[in-house]
Amino acid sequence: MIESAAVTLTTAPSLVSSSQLDPSGDDVAPHTVTVQVPQNQTAVVVGAAGVTTSTGLLISPGQVLTLDLDRNERLYARTIAGESTIRVLRNGVNDQAVKTRALILAGNGRKSLRWPDEPPRHLVPIKGEPLIHRTIRMLAERNIPDIRVFADSTDTDYVIPPGIHEIPRVVDRDWTQEWEPSQHMWNPEGRTIILYGDCYFSDRLLDFICLDSGDPWTVYARYDGSPNTGKAYGEMFGWVFDSKHAPELTRCQQEAIAWKMRGDWNRALGWEVYRIAMGKWPGDHYRGKHFYSWDDSSEDFDMPADYETWARLNPDLA
């Protein structure tokens, strides 16, 4: 039995160790999860991958819920009443409170050849709220204590409290985007969450990201195009990693840069870092371990047409 301030969780004894519970693609045996909520709280099943009937299921105060999960399914639940903190229940592993820093990357902000329009892509309205402000607010609502927004010095309107404005570190290679300009702010003792500032995050996706312990590290991305958003190709939404994985990701980043500098590949972005970490060629469109596939209304607005198509297909969200 595993307890937290939010819920009590029990799992079948067949689960021997947390090494069996790697959510990044390794096989996990079928198992049973029981969630018990204190008398004075209400909880919601945020997600159980592959268990669509239970997603969003409310658990009443004092209720005990038992779910049978198949292979590779994982359960997330959080309380939704009072001042309770979010806890993750992942295949029976309770994510204890960890020091977390979230980095929202807006790069050069308004300086984008692909988005000449106003407002800039990070500030497009989502029900009247600028996109990047919405991400900051959602992180704060999920009890993320340290939120840093990387944007050009002139883009002061990109940040609202409790977000902190950070100027991207100047590097010779502006094509490295999220890695070099923000690496000096990776959390040295705990978990780092990297989010892209021009992405729309569904509540459920941000729940999963914020509830991820970062050990093992995980990239949240969509592998291909999506009928939900109209985008014809895949997108990367964010990374979560514990500080102990930073050296490995740094090594992969430097290798991606070397490929680009030699002229053997044309980019050194998040996709390239992931592929190299998996032992693949940087141009190999690949997903495997550490890759959590996600396809809902979440989207990266690279160009005005991306936002316009998304808004047309999701009028209740725009």
The CATH number of the domain holding residue 123 is 3.90.550.10
262 within some domain: yes
The residue range of the domain holding 25 is 2-95
DSSP labels, 218-270: EEEEEEE--TTT--SEEEEEEEEEEGGGHHHHHHHHHHHHHHHHHTSSS--SH
Residues 26 and 157 in one domain: no
Structural domain count of the chain: 2
- Burial of residue 153 (CB within 10 Å: 0-12, 13-18, 19+) is exposed
Using pLDDT thresholds of 50, 70 and 90, give the confidence band for residue 94.
very low
Over residues 242-275, the pLDDT tens digits come to 999 999 999 999 999 899 889 888 888 899 999 9
pLDDT above 90: residue 221: yes
**pLDDT tens, residue by residue, 104-163:** 998 765 556 567 777 888 999 999 999 999 999 999 988 888 999 998 878 788 999 999
Q: Are residues 180 and 289 in the same domain?
A: yes
* 58 and 193, same domain (yes or no): no
Same domain for 87 and 162? no
Within a domain: 318? no
What local confidence, expressed as pLDDT, does residue 200 receive? 97
- Do 85 and 117 belong together in one domain? no
What local confidence, expressed as pLDDT, does residue 316 receive? Answer: 95
Asked if 158 and 300 sit in the same domain, the reply is yes
Q: What is the pLDDT at residue 134? A: 97
88 and 143, same domain (yes or no): no
Residues 119 and 80 in one domain: no
**Do 148 and 196 reside in the same domain of the chain?**
yes
Contact 301, 200 (CB under 8 A): yes
Supply the mean pLDDT for the chain. 74
* Residue 104: φ, ψ to 5°: -105, 120
Mean pLDDT comparison of 47-61, 233-247, 253-267, highest-scoring range: 233-247
Cα–Cα–Cα angle for 162, 127, 159, rounded to 5 degrees: 25
Same domain as 157, residue 38: no
Residues 91 and 106 in one domain: no
Among 256, 261, 292, smallest CA distance to 273 is for 256
The half-sphere exposure of 237 on its side-chain side, counting CA atoms within 13 A, is 26
